[in-house]
Amino acid sequence: MCGRDLFGRSQLSYVLDALWNEASILTTMDITTDGFGFMLSFGDLSWVPFVFTTSTRFLVDHPQVGPWPARVVAARATGQREPRRVEHAA
């Protein structure tokens, strides 16, 4: 599997996870304490779509081979899983 497919699938996993757990997002400290605010609305509407599409676009134009795409996806999966593990342990 090429890097583009791995990145696309990991990004899809992240988005589906966020949509599935949307109720828990509304109880985070950013929302309950700070209010939604400009920073979060800017990030949701412009920063996240830009960052997600940039890496995938780069991989479409410059296909990569080797072990590094799988390592990046593994690191991303760990970063996506760890916050939930810590929340449930407390």
Grouping H, G, I as helix, E, B as strand and the rest as coil, residue 86 is: helix
The answer for residues whose C-beta is within 8 angstroms of residue 14's C-beta and 6 or more apart is 76, 80
Binned at pLDDT 50, 70 and 90, residue 89 comes out as low
Query: What's the pLDDT tens digit per position in 36-79?
Result: 777 777 777 788 778 878 877 887 888 777 777 778 778 888 88
21 φ, ψ to 5°?
-105, 30
Q: What is the mean pLDDT of the chain?
A: 76
Tally of domains in the chain: 1
Q: Which residue has the tokens 């960052």?
A: 51
**What's the pLDDT score for residue 19?**
76
**What's the pLDDT score for residue 1?**
61
Residues of the domain holding 29? 3-89
This prediction's pTM: 0.54
